[in-house]
A and B are shown apart, each in its own frame.
Chain A
Amino acid sequence: MKSATAWLALLALVSSHVGIANAVPAKKEELPKGPGSKAVTDEILDAIAEEMNRAMTALEIPNNPKPYHISYKVTEVDVNDAAASLGQTTSKRNRHFVNLEARVRVQIAPTLDNGNFSVPQAEEIDAVVAINLPVESNARIARRAAWLVTDGAYKEALIQLRAKLEHRRASGARVSDVPAWTTEKAMVSEEPVLVPVLEPLDELEARAKAISAGFRDHPQIRDSRVALTSYLERRWYITTEGTSVTDTRRASGVVIAASGQSDDGQPLAQYFLRYGHTAKDLPADDELKAESKKLVDTITALQKAPMIERYSGPVLFEGEGAVGLLRFALAPHLGGTPVPEGLNPQEAKQFGGALTDKIGLRVLAPNLTIVDDPTARDGGGKALIGGYKIDDEGVRAQRVEVVKDGTLKTLLTSRTPSAKGMTSNGHARRTAEGGAFHGSATNMFVSGKTTVSRAALKAKLIATARAEGLKYGLIIRRFDDAAITAAPEFSRRELVQLIKSTDQQIPPPAVLAYRVLPNGKEELVRGVQLAEVPIRAWKDVLGVSKETTTYNFLAATEGQLNLRLTGGTDDGFVPSGGIESGIVTPDLLLKEIDVQPASTGALPSPILPKPGK
């Protein structure tokens, strides 16, 4: 199943990011706000609420439970996108759409409802039904749409509940005393949240063309593109508990992607990605042109760089490298929502779960503290886009201290608890099989009690490697993001083979990695693939830097391998699927990480050189 969030993100091509190790500091001055929604009016919302009340009162199939909770999410997305390659536009468009999503819950006891269960062979039955609303709707259309989605979701909820009962009986699951769904206070916040207007398409197009022209004189670059996006998403939640809230998210972003090929045929991809609340948070054109040049230089250097050999030892994750490690190897474990029932162990791995039942225990190096704060708009002096006022279950966003001095204090929770007494802390953001929202990271702040300079951390890497008898240590400065870099280079046969033979749970390859020799010299290497990073590796963090990196990204709902094989956003748009997230982190030196050469294979070199002018 593709979650509603993922669907929106894919359609809207919205996304993440705003990285910013070296971006322009967020401006304090506020831009003028644009108007509220013209598509979703009080009349529309009243019509939906009226239909909700009618369903709550009267919707019942004899001999089956009635709904005990109905909720609606109305989402309006307005996005301007422009992309260019070699100075010429490849796409330029606005998309504006509205959809209505209904969720219905039925129960046979407070500890047993239909939620968070993936129906075997029918995962699409999850008591969530959505429909598009016109951008120029009226009460008649909205009421009819609400009627249909509520009816559909109710029928699915009944099937889901029955299947869950069957599953529990067949698997011999113990009767739990954990409530199926937490009780939360109803919230009313109906004042529109106004945000600055979108940057106009012509402006995005002009920038994309100007920056992408920088790749024209580089025959070693196989493909390149620059895309800019400007996006807003308005949301309204209405529930039978009396919650009626609205919120708006706004982001602008830029992506620069380029590819090449090593002398032995390995595809090489590099990217630069930044997001902010508006274009004012993004680097200026000159800086983006300089970043484009860096990508060219890196690809040129990688063409001749050696492949990594197998390696097991200390790795320094620097800048975006530290962000990537947290994103792929720790953040998935911070959710406190139980893994959906009905999944096989391989499928369940995507939900992390390594920290469940470890509250109160030391799980990280004692030097580390992690706070997740969706109420933050900035971090490290730069914009963060992972924030919101209300989460996807209508619960107010809350700052949460997850790990204090290495000890797990709590997890990021939604309204589906994993332990008795647990309540939501406003982190319901990710949907998955089974229809439940899962608690997940939003704006994640990692800090060290004791920090050293970046140079000192590198010296410690060298010393540790030497002490272990290694010829070199390893620094990783960036992981791949297939949503951005993937290109459809594979044939149908190759696609099938790769899907069959690749472990989908390992982190994506590191695209910027260096061997650090005892004398401190760095050598660029390619093909760096981390093996699975076990949660225990986080107990052996040898050092933390003073310098921090602020970076925004999408927590993709699609696996990196899938994105790579299907071409990611090769159509030229800004990526991708997933939920907006931000990380502020120092560099991290981990004691022992296993690395292997990437097995993504080689392509024959092109028969002809790239055409000239």
Chain B
Amino acid sequence: MRWIFLLGAAAGLLGCPGNGGTPTAKPDPKPPLLTAEIKLELPSIPSKIETTKSQPTENNAPGKRSPILDIMKAETERQMAALRKQKDPAHYLAYQLVEQRVVSLEAEGGALITDSDDTARNLDVEVRVGDPMLDSTRDLASDDNGLNSPLTRRGVVPFGEDKLAISNAMWLETDRRYREAVTALGYVRQDQSTLSKRATAPDFAPQPTPEVYVEAPVTLAFDKQQWVDRLKRCSAKALKGTATRGTCGVVFQQNTAWFVNSEGSQIQLSWTNAQMSVSVGVKAEDGMSLSRLEQRFGRQPGDLPADADVDKMIATVTSELDALHDAPLAEPYVGPAILEGRAAGVFFHEVFGHRIEGHRQKDKTGGQTFASYVGKDIAPEWLSVYDDPMIVTLNGMQLNGFYRFDDEGVRAQKVPLIDRGKLVGFVMGRNPIKGFMTSNGHGRRSPGLPPVARQGNLVVEVDKSVPRADLEKLLVEEIKKQRRPYGMIFTDISGGFTNTSAFAPQAFKVNPVMAYKLFPDGKRELVRGIDISGTPLVALQSIRAASREVETFNGVCGAESGWVPVSASSPSLLLEKLEIEKGFVPPDRPPVLQPPSIRKEAP
């Protein structure tokens, strides 16, 4: 039996790195297109970035400490006292208990279609057997089926603060995980004994100074009925123009996380977040599915837009959808292009961000694109990139990638990644690589999965910039210089993927949803059905100019350690060359019958 899922667009999702998911990009038979450097004279005015930040230890409230931390600490100490003495000793033990309430409301065409409010409490246990130099987490040289990885599993822990109930759940899961780790280490040692060349970087970065921090619990505040009414009104309004689907939804989350490890860290974090989306969709005449999405994020439901602003979101998505519906398909193209703010942010997240996640530099099957580029120029000298999870707002917008401590108990840190064109760093969890032996607080995961290095708030900043309007003039100059019939402007990218496996080309592919041809006379034409593809080093070196204005993409990113909230902020960028290829359009099998008169009862 087959299921049809009507509710299209899961939004704000960034598909991420890896070998799976979407098809890999075709290898380019030609050498990289690095044409003669164009000397653009850019004014030395930096892009506008104003941030508010909160240090990891701010708002420490020891008086709000939950007894759960003490229960976890006691069980950690009891366990480690025994596990350290085993034939295969554990050298590290960490528990993370996350209680998450998720409220999800969604309306389509005026009717409520999703109404859920679930709370779950899940335990993750990290037991490392062996020693920090070589432990049970070491990847095997060849383990295509991932047999040596821990089983994805969420440990269910009772609610409340009962010592016996909570510590019993911890004991059970530790027993299972320790046994699993001992087996894994056996295979690791056997694997190592057969290799001609063994990695020298350790498997784990100990942290000598434990962290102790308590954040006061926060709760969600919202009037459910009011939101239901708003969403119904919103979705009824969204169903206009060519749209055959119009949905409005909110997701509110309340999270409390307790982390304790054998190094003595004890961390209690509590946060809420809220997200609203307006989404519309239709099929083009040729069968291509088209959709538009606008999202807003906040810490609390009250931070989300008022009705008047929601009306603007609706107007944006419906007018863009109507335009897309009538837009022609584009052809493959290579030439100059502008990536506008949010699109540039997503572009950097995919093309650059996933390749500077530290653990990928030691993955034998990975492309290790940037491993040998530390200290070398990889981008224009006026461009820098950093990741800073401590940023709360950027130019007044709340950033999705804010956190105080990562999921390995390490405090969030600002990490310079590109400094004036030179590659200087990686986002690091507790899996060290040569030259970067400590974590910088980027080990992240969703419950049930082992943490790896992930991005938080990625920020692209430039020392030289021009007003956005002038960037378009520079694009026209480029078009003429390269004798192209037109250039491209991308204002929105829905996501994409980047292949980091050494087996396949080190390519990326991102999916622009709003793409315009810009002709030398200034005329714009919206087109559809294309992807941007290329290789990261070429793409970074192709950046020629940036705008003063900076925009932010907020979303969630999926990779091997699950879905984590992220943001990417960037000025608009002019690239000398971008390659555009035809997007994948699945074969369309339109329904045999014309639609029923689906609009006649539309509210």
Name A residues whose Cβ lies closer than 8 Å to a Cβ of B.
1-4, 7, 50-51, 54-55, 58-61, 84-91, 93, 101, 124-126, 128-132, 134-141, 143-149, 151-152, 154-156, 216, 222-223, 431, 435, 488-493, 495-496, 567, 570-572, 603-604, 606-608, 610-613
Contact A86 B175 (CB under 8 A): no
**Contact indicator per residue, chain B 156-189, by CB within 8 Å of chain A (1) or not (0):** 1111101111111111100110111001000000
Residues A101 and B1 in contact in the complex (CB < 8 Å), given A54-B596, A488-B151, A492-B151: yes
Residues of chain A lying within 8 A (CB to CB) of residue B602: 140
Contact B591 A54 (CB under 8 A): no
Q: B129 → chain A, closest Cβ, in Å? A: 12
* Least CB separation from B7: chain A residue: A132
**Contact indicator per residue, chain B 569-603, by CB within 8 Å of chain A (1) or not (0):** 00000000000000000000101110111111111
* Least CB separation from A99: chain B residue: B3
* Least CB separation from A495: chain B residue: B151
**B220 an interface residue at 8 Å Cβ cutoff?**
no
> For window 63-89 of chain B, which residues contact chain A by CB distance below 8 Å?
75, 78-79, 82-83, 86
Q: How far is A490 from B79 in the complex, measured between Cα atoms in Å? A: 21
Q: A93 → chain B, closest Cβ, in Å? A: 6
Contact B162 A88 (CB under 8 A): yes
Q: How far is A194 from B148 in the complex, measured between Cα atoms in Å? A: 53
Contact B171 A611 (CB under 8 A): yes
Q: How far is A155 from B587 in the complex, measured between Cα atoms in Å? A: 14
Residues A143 and B115 in contact in the complex (CB < 8 Å), given A148-B591, A571-B156, A607-B83: no
Contact B589 A155 (CB under 8 A): yes
Contact sample, A vs B, 21 pairs, CB 8 Å cutoff = A54-B593, A58-B593, A59-B592, A85-B158, A85-B168, A86-B158, A87-B165, A88-B158, A89-B158, A138-B603, A140-B109, A141-B108, A144-B598, A147-B595, A148-B591, A152-B2, A491-B179, A492-B147, A567-B153, A607-B175, A610-B168
**B23 an interface residue at 8 Å Cβ cutoff?**
no
Residue from A2, A60, A134 in contact with B1 in the complex, judged by beta carbons closer than 8 Å: A2
Residues A147 and B591 in contact in the complex (CB < 8 Å), given A85-B169, A140-B109: yes
Contact B165 A86 (CB under 8 A): yes
Q: A601 → chain B, closest Cβ, in Å? A: 12
Contact B601 A124 (CB under 8 A): no
Q: How far is A144 from B593 in the complex, measured between Cα atoms in Å? A: 11
**B502 an interface residue at 8 Å Cβ cutoff?**
no
* Least CB separation from B596: chain A residue: A143
* Least CB separation from A103: chain B residue: B1
13 new A-B contacts at CB < 8 Å, known A131-B4, A493-B148, A608-B79: A88-B162, A126-B1, A129-B2, A130-B3, A138-B110, A140-B600, A144-B596, A147-B593, A489-B176, A496-B145, A607-B83, A607-B86, A608-B78
**B61 an interface residue at 8 Å Cβ cutoff?**
no
Q: How far is A458 from B228 in the complex, measured between Cα atoms in Å? A: 64
Residues of chain B lying within 8 A (CB to CB) of residue A571: 156
Most chain A CB within 10 A, of B6, B83, B146, B157, is at B6
Residues A603 and B156 in contact in the complex (CB < 8 Å), given A86-B162, A130-B1, A139-B601: no
Residues of chain A lying within 8 A (CB to CB) of residue B145: 496
Q: A291 → chain B, closest Cβ, in Å? A: 21
Contact B179 A603 (CB under 8 A): yes
Name B residues whose Cβ lies closer than 8 Å to a Cβ of A.
1-6, 75, 78-79, 82-83, 86, 108-115, 118, 120-121, 145-151, 153, 156-160, 162-172, 175-176, 178-180, 183, 589, 591-593, 595-603
Q: How far is A344 from B159 in the complex, measured between Cα atoms in Å? A: 47
Residue from B2, B109, B157 in contact with A124 in the complex, judged by beta carbons closer than 8 Å: B2
Residues of chain B lying within 8 A (CB to CB) of residue A148: 4, 6, 591
Contact A128 B2 (CB under 8 A): yes
* Least CB separation from A130: chain B residue: B3
Residue from B121, B168, B600 in contact with A611 in the complex, judged by beta carbons closer than 8 Å: B168
Q: Which are the 5 A-B pairs with shortest beta-carbon distances?
A: A88-B158, A134-B113, A88-B165, A611-B167, A151-B591
Residues of chain A lying within 8 A (CB to CB) of residue B589: 155
Residue from A131, A134, A603 in contact with B3 in the complex, judged by beta carbons closer than 8 Å: A131
* Least CB separation from A57: chain B residue: B593
Residues of chain B lying within 8 A (CB to CB) of residue A7: 1
Residues of chain A lying within 8 A (CB to CB) of residue B118: 93
Residues of chain B lying within 8 A (CB to CB) of residue A154: 592
Contact B596 A608 (CB under 8 A): no
Q: B310 → chain A, closest Cβ, in Å? A: 20
Q: How far is A488 from B176 in the complex, measured between Cα atoms in Å? A: 9
Q: How far is A603 from B591 in the complex, measured between Cα atoms in Å? A: 55
Contact B147 A4 (CB under 8 A): no
Q: How far is A134 from B108 in the complex, measured between Cα atoms in Å? A: 9
Residues A90 and B593 in contact in the complex (CB < 8 Å), given A493-B147, A611-B75: no
Residues of chain B lying within 8 A (CB to CB) of residue A129: 1-4
Q: How far is A137 from B115 in the complex, measured between Cα atoms in Å? A: 13
Q: How far is A140 from B111 in the complex, measured between Cα atoms in Å? A: 10
Contact B78 A151 (CB under 8 A): no
Q: A393 → chain B, closest Cβ, in Å? A: 15
Residues of chain A lying within 8 A (CB to CB) of residue B4: 129-131, 145, 148-149, 152
Contact B156 A608 (CB under 8 A): no
Q: A487 → chain B, closest Cβ, in Å? A: 9
Residues A606 and B175 in contact in the complex (CB < 8 Å), given A101-B1, A152-B4: yes
Residue from B6, B170, B178 in contact with A607 in the complex, judged by beta carbons closer than 8 Å: B178
* Least CB separation from B164: chain A residue: A613
Residues of chain A lying within 8 A (CB to CB) of residue B599: 140
Residues of chain B lying within 8 A (CB to CB) of residue A3: 1
Q: How far is A145 from B148 in the complex, measured between Cα atoms in Å? A: 44
* Least CB separation from B183: chain A residue: A491
Contact A87 B162 (CB under 8 A): yes
Contact A1 B1 (CB under 8 A): yes
* Least CB separation from B118: chain A residue: A93
* Least CB separation from B161: chain A residue: A88
Contact B1 A124 (CB under 8 A): yes
Q: How far is A612 from B71 in the complex, measured between Cα atoms in Å? A: 12
Q: How far is A404 from B503 in the complex, measured between Cα atoms in Å? A: 67
Residue from B78, B86, B157 in contact with A90 in the complex, judged by beta carbons closer than 8 Å: B157
Q: How far is A566 from B148 in the complex, measured between Cα atoms in Å? A: 18
* Least CB separation from B157: chain A residue: A90
* Least CB separation from A490: chain B residue: B151
Q: How far is A570 from B593 in the complex, measured between Cα atoms in Å? A: 45
Q: How far is A2 from B595 in the complex, measured between Cα atoms in Å? A: 29
Residues of chain B lying within 8 A (CB to CB) of residue A126: 1
Residues of chain A lying within 8 A (CB to CB) of residue B168: 85-86, 223, 610-611
Residue from B109, B158, B595 in contact with A141 in the complex, judged by beta carbons closer than 8 Å: B109
Contact A492 B146 (CB under 8 A): yes
Residues of chain B lying within 8 A (CB to CB) of residue A132: 3, 5-6
Contact B164 A216 (CB under 8 A): yes
Contact B112 A134 (CB under 8 A): yes
Residues of chain A lying within 8 A (CB to CB) of residue B150: 492
Most chain B CB within 10 A, of A1, A89, A567, A603, is at A89
Residues A128 and B1 in contact in the complex (CB < 8 Å), given A134-B112, A140-B109, A492-B147: yes
Q: A457 → chain B, closest Cβ, in Å? A: 41
Residue from A4, A60, A134, A492 in contact with B111 in the complex, judged by beta carbons closer than 8 Å: A134
Residue from B1, B158, B179, B601 in contact with A4 in the complex, judged by beta carbons closer than 8 Å: B1
Q: A411 → chain B, closest Cβ, in Å? A: 25
* Least CB separation from A139: chain B residue: B601
Residues of chain A lying within 8 A (CB to CB) of residue B172: 222-223
Contact A604 B179 (CB under 8 A): yes
Residues of chain A lying within 8 A (CB to CB) of residue B156: 90-91, 570-572
Q: How far is A464 from B5 in the complex, measured between Cα atoms in Å? A: 60
* Least CB separation from A144: chain B residue: B598
* Least CB separation from B180: chain A residue: A491
Q: B181 → chain A, closest Cβ, in Å? A: 9
Q: How far is A604 from B110 in the complex, measured between Cα atoms in Å? A: 57
Q: A490 → chain B, closest Cβ, in Å? A: 8
Q: How far is A11 from B502 in the complex, measured between Cα atoms in Å? A: 40
Residue from B120, B147, B162, B183 in contact with A91 in the complex, judged by beta carbons closer than 8 Å: B120
Contact A496 B2 (CB under 8 A): no
Q: How far is A137 from B232 in the complex, measured between Cα atoms in Å? A: 12
Q: How far is A147 from B510 in the complex, measured between Cα atoms in Å? A: 34
